[in-house]
Structure formats: structure tokens, C-alpha cells
Amino acid sequence: MKKLIFVAILLLVMVMVAACGGSSGGDAGGDTGGGEQAGSSNTPTPVVLATPTPKPAPPTPTARPTATPAPLVSAEEEETTDAATEETAAEGEAAGGEAAEEETPTEPAPAPIPEDMVEISAGPFMMGQDGSKPKNGPGHEVDLPAYEIDRFEVTNDEFARFVNEAGFVTYAEQNSTKNWRDAAEAKGGNHPVVYVTWDDAKAYCEWAGKRLPTEAEWEKAARGEDGRVYPWGNDYPAEAEVDQFGNFYETGLRSTFPVGAFEKGVSPYGVYDMSGNVREWVEDYFLPYPGAAEDADPFFGEENRVNRGGGWFDGEEGELVTTYNRNAGPPGTSANDDIGFRCARDAQ
């Protein structure tokens, strides 16, 4: 019995010693984070260090579309940045404006026709003619301010540009079997335009920034201040040289001719074709001159407008191509193949 008690005590002592040794080993190892402490079982269990299991990586968060945060700047830096931004924007706008201007440049509108006018100086001249037909006299002095007049009669090309740009339709185009287009096609662009009424001619001059010349302006430009009968002088040219002075009946062309072709027929001021080629509409009503009888011509009145200079079918006979001869016609309906015009304006 004593032996059994001794054995039991001995076993109890061994268990207690083993338990104390395991506890000391754990403390010596420190906090490993991966060890396991022995249980409270009376049977001693060997301590086994498990292989540490790595911690799983945290899941990658799903990105959300968010604005990139602006870096924090000081108040001073913020003012500098704003100023730079405004300057850059201004430069961009300027550059954009310059680029826009380069892409769509603004150009001044071109003149309707080439500027080829002759200035007539201010001063008096003798208008009309004594001893001629009653409608052409009496002679009287007229004092005019300076003005400009076309060097040449208005051509088909110039009139075509007016029609195309203004959308204008002449009286003859609406009411006649022939009109200026027919003549232009048959003769060419540098011939004087014909089949135009006074109304048509006035519309063209206004579109061109000009006006029809007055009767006095036309006559002074044709005859000068010395009262000559023809633009070149007082004598009609001999038959052998008539074709050097103008397009008359005696020239034999029987139609219009390109403007400015007759050098010897130029007026004292350098104006061409003021005698022959085509008659030319002027501004005035067909009225008697001062001192003339009111009934000197049955067509006097405000129903007709004056045309001057004679045309290709007129000649020496009857003074039709003189600088002072007067003809007239209804302004809205008179449109023939020998009537054209030129423009004038106040001196610039």
C-alpha cells in the first residue's frame, strides 16, 4: 500500500515538473504570433510550432470615375495661376481670331467698273448754236463746276456685270424682240451697249456710284471752251479719212464699233466717241434754252429726255453728229440699236 502511494506521488511530481518546463519555453520564445499554447489537459502534449500562414492581401477596390483632385496651392500661387490662365486664354482667343481672319479675309468690295474718267475743269463755255435748228439755240454761256465724265461709252461687258450683280432686266428684254444681249452676242463685249432706255441707263449709273451727265456737262466735254462744231474742230473730215475720226454713216460700218477706236475724233478733254458710234442719253428733259420760243419744237416738254452726239447711222447731213445737236425720246420706252450712254459724277 505504501508503495502505491509513493508511485502516485512520484507521477504527480513528474507531471508538475513537465508542466512548469512547457510554460517557461513559451515565455522565452516571446510573441511569435504563430505558436499554440498547451492545453489544460493533464496529459502533456508536445508543443508544435505551426508554419505561419501568410495573411491574404486585401481585395483591390473597384475604381470609380472621380475627378482628379487639384493640388493644394497657396493663395499667392492661386492668384498667379489664375492670371496665367487668363493670359493664355486671351492669347488663344487672339490666335483663334487671327486664324479666323486668315481663313476668311475681309476684302473691300471691288469697284463696279474700272475707274476711267476724265475731269473737266470748272468754268464757263458757250452752249448751243446760233443759226442752227431752233431746238439747238440760241447760243448762251453756261458756267459749270468741275466734274468727271467717262472717257468711253458704257460697254456690253460693263452693262452685263451690272445686270448680273443687280438682277436688272431692261425694258427691251421684257417688251421687244431684240435687246442688248442680242447686240452683245453679235458684236462683242467692248462695243457700246445699245437697246437701253433712259431709265435703264440711269439705273446703271446709280449702281456704279455715278449719274447721267447733264446736257451742259455732256456738251462742254464734247466741244471744249472754244465752241467747236465737232469734238476735233470745226470741219467734217474728208471722205478719204472719215474712218479715222468716228463711226458715222459715211464710215460705212452700219453698226456699233469698239469704244475708243478713233484717235483723231477725241474731244479737247480726251473723251472718245462723242460724235458717232451711238447717241448718248443725258439727264435733262427736252426743254427750250433760255431765250428760245416755247413752241420751237413740238416735242419740247417733260415727256422726253435728251440724247446727244449722233450714232453710227448719222452723218454730216443735218448736223446730226455735231457737238450741239439735240435729239430726244421717251425715257421709259425708247430703246434703239444706236442709243447708248456714259456716266458722270461730281469732281472727287
Query: What pLDDT score was predicted for residue 25?
Result: 39
Residue 155 lies in a domain: yes
Range 201-207 average pLDDT:
98
Residue 45 lies in a domain: no
- Based on DSSP, count helices (H) and strands (E) in the chain, helices before strands: 7, 9
Comparing 100 with 8, the larger pLDDT belongs to 8
Domain coverage including residue 202: 117-123+140-346
Residue 177 lies in a domain: yes
Query: What pLDDT score was predicted for residue 10?
Result: 57
How far is it, in rounded angstroms, from Cα 87 to Cα 228?
A: 74
Percent of the chain with pLDDT over 70: 67
Return the amino acid letter for 271.
V
The count of domains in the chain is 1
- Domain at 320, CATH number: 3.90.1580.10
How far is it, in rounded angstroms, from Cα 175 to Cα 178?
A: 9
Comparing 175 with 47, the larger pLDDT belongs to 175
Residue 271 lies in a domain: yes
Residue 33 lies in a domain: no
Residue 89 lies in a domain: no
Query: What pLDDT score was predicted for residue 5?
Result: 55
Q: What is the pLDDT of residues 309-320, one digit of tens each?
A: 999 999 988 899
pTM of full prediction above 0.75: no
Residue 153 lies in a domain: yes
Q: What is the pLDDT of residues 120-162, one digit of tens each?
A: 999 999 999 999 999 999 999 999 999 999 999 999 999 999 9
Q: What is the pLDDT of residues 235-282, one digit of tens each?
A: 999 999 999 999 999 999 999 999 999 999 999 999 999 999 999 999
How far is it, in rounded angstroms, from Cα 213 to Cα 282?
A: 5
Q: Cell 447686240, residue?
A: 183
Query: What pLDDT score was predicted for residue 115?
Result: 75
Residue 2 lies in a domain: no
